[in-house]
Amino acid sequence: MRNSDKNKHTVLIVGATGYIGRAVVAESVSQGYKVVAVTRSPASEGQFAGAEVVIGDVTDPASVAKVLERKFDVVISCLACRSGLAKDFDAIDYRATLNILKAARKAAHKSSSCCQRSA
């Protein structure tokens, strides 16, 4: 993909503050994409040069849906629990990832269905 095409695409990255997430945000920005990084805290706003930061709680489906009200071409999840405990794994690696998937599917369906012609 040419760089001129990349800056037309918006990438949403959840789990942006983790080790992998930071690298994915930095690489996506350096590749020329418009990047939106989702974080839990406004304190993260200065961390991501070249990316827009939005605050969201991936464990809350309503918060995730609000973040995904905007149009994104790509949603990347870098979510992973920090503790390794079963309850955290269930909350983050499973449920939060499922929240993102469901909201992204719903948002994609909305944006694609509004563009369909009626017969």
pLDDT digits (tens, 9 = 90+) for 23-73: 999 999 999 999 999 998 877 777 899 999 999 999 899 999 999 998 899
Question: 80: Cβ–Cβ under 8 A, 6 or more apart, which residues?
Answer: 15, 18, 20, 92, 93
Query: Three-state SS for 93?
Result: helix
According to CATH, the topology of domain 3-113 is Rossmann fold (3.40.50)
End-to-end CA distance of the chain: 35
* pTM (predicted TM-score): 0.79
Task: Please check the confidence at residue 119 and state whether its pLDDT lies above 70.
Answer: no
